[in-house]
A and B are shown apart, each in its own frame.
Chain A
Amino acid sequence: MIAILTLLDKRTRTGPEGGRLCAVAAEVTEQSGAGIALVSEGGELTSLCASNMVAQRLMDLEITVGEGPCVDASRSFGAIEEAELLSSQSSRWLAYSPSAGTAGARAVFGFPLCIGAICLGALSLYRDRPGPLTDAQASDAYLMASVVARAVLAMQAGAPRDMIADELVREATFDFAVHQAAGMVSIQGSMSVGDALVAVRAHAFATDCTSSALALRIVARDTCFDSGTREWRDAEGATPRQVA
């Protein structure tokens, strides 16, 4: 984890966030290239970035034909591995596989970007030689997917460009309150839990506090999202609390 964050921090100073994430993903997992696809509300994939031309072509191909490692990983919430893309036994993706081979890939992998019930998209990796990931590479890919998921969330919440790596370090550990708060805010604002999580993070950035601290106030019912005004407000005095 620390190694990934250090790499990411080094590259924070250069290039846009997406490209940096993909480059780090490919480097950490020792693959030929990496791409990140995001899932829109309707379930459509869009490409966020790719680390090189081949990775970009694979991503475009996957979006065009509607099948491939990112599609499967984000739908199944699980890791996808196609270690022998051009093997005659491989019939997982009839349209994707041969074209991906032509583009230069021999093995492709997909890892979902999940945060609980939220699926933000998927991280895909490719290699120009066939064969499975080693256990260490697979571990690193899981870890990278979790870092990418957090980074994407920070970007969506409008984190300042040079702060994303810091944010990732601070948010590296699992925080109950943040996820409980996202659940509460989703009901308060009649929105999805994913949008609520982004709203919590964005409000934390805007008010210059950590999302953990804000989340604790939300869970304690001292702050809530007003569905009428679409704004945040603090409870007046003692928080009125209904009992079920």
Chain B
Amino acid sequence: MARESLLVTTLVELADNLVDSFDVIDVLTVLSDRCVEALDVDAAGVMLASPGGELQFVASSSESMRVLELFQIQADEGPCVDCYKDGRAIVNHALTDPDARWPRFTPRAIAQGFRSVHCLPMRLRGRTIGALNLFRTEQGSLDDDDVVVAQGLADVATIAILQHRTSLDARLLNDQLSNALNSRIIIEQAKGRVSQSTGCDMDQAFRRLRTHARNHNLGLTDVARSVADGTLDSNMLDLVAETSKS
């Protein structure tokens, strides 16, 4: 698909998700997936700030442990932390070891095959709520258009998170973020149950949860909670169609 049409489709898809009660994790996973498709990047993910101001991972284009690990490290240090603190984008940062700036993050990212990292703040009316993180396996840089598109997608996602609160009331925002972060834990618990019950890996487990939610018009977190508390049997989840791609 040409990039313009992909972007239009993405915006419609995101807008479509925003009606009524939408699932924050699902929306941010869509955002991450579309970044990988529309931009010249190989992995994308979103970290949001907890009410205590610490960054936590919420969504990614890949659920594999090797990618998730790179987000986990960034609770302490890494491009997301710096981008979130300064509220400024980090673009085309080449990863080279040793790295005095991020001594733990950089060697792990290189070990996973990534060569450059990019981070865009998720910001609305002066408040930064998190960061969109992009990884490339190739040398070379993102062009200006890519950066504009990425920031645009990050802005849409930020509005998505804040939208069903008309005011930027700090308390409601805290509630919202704290819910999003807890949803992520529910999803991990559910992934573990699906993986154990059906013998699949964590990435497939996530896709089954998501496919089931889509097929039955349910929220991703709601499906995950039902699986985690045992009201929905993992074996009853819809199978992922062969053609689908993470």
B199 at the interface (CB under 8 A from A): yes
Residue B126 is within 8 A (CB to CB) of chain A in the complex? no
A117-B189, A139-B174, A183-B189 known; A77-B202 Cβ under 8 A: no
Cβ–Cβ contact A78 & B179, under 8 A: yes
B184 A174 Cβ-Cβ under 8 A = yes
Dominant SS among interface residues on chain B: helix
Please state if B193 and A186 are interface contacts (CB–CB under 8 Å). Answer: yes
Q: Looking at A138, A139, A183, A187, which has the most chain B CB atoms within 10 Å of its CB?
A: A183
Taking residues whose C-beta sits less than 8 angstroms from the other chain, chain A's interface range is 35 or more
How many residues of B are in contact with the other chain, CB < 8 A? 45
How far is A177 from B178 in the complex, measured between Cα atoms in Å?
Answer: 20
Cα A143 to Cα B53 with chains together (Å):
10
Q: Which of B131-183 contact A (CB under 8 A)?
A: 170-171, 174-175, 178-179, 181-182
Task: Give a binary string over A169-208; 1 marks a CB under 8 Å from any B CB, 0 the rest.
Answer: 0000111110111111111100011000000000000000
With A and B bound together, what is the CA distance between A238 and B63 in angstroms?
Answer: 24
Query: Whole-angstrom distance between the alpha carbons of A139 and B54 in the complex?
Result: 12
A231 within 8 A of B: no
- Report whether A174 and B182 are in contact in the complex, using a CB–CB cutoff of 8 Å: no
Q: Flag if A176 contacts B204 (CB, 8 Å).
A: no
Q: By the criterion CB–CB under 8 Å, are A188 and B189 in contact?
A: no
Choose one: B57, B65, B171; the contact of A138 (CB below 8 Å): B171
Would you call A142 an interface residue if the criterion is a C-beta within 8 Å of the partner chain's C-beta atoms?
yes
* Cα(A182)–Cα(B225), bound, Å: 14
Question: Does A237 count as interface, using CB distance less than 8 angstroms?
Answer: no
A230 sits at the interface (CB 8 A): no
The verdict on B32 contacting chain A, using a C-beta distance below 8 Å, is: no
Closest 5 CB pairs of A and B: A183-B192, A116-B185, A242-B199, A179-B188, A117-B228
Residues of B in contact with A (beta carbons under 8 Å apart): 50-54, 56-57, 65, 68, 72, 75-76, 170-171, 174-175, 178-179, 181-182, 184-200, 202, 204, 224-225, 228-230, 234
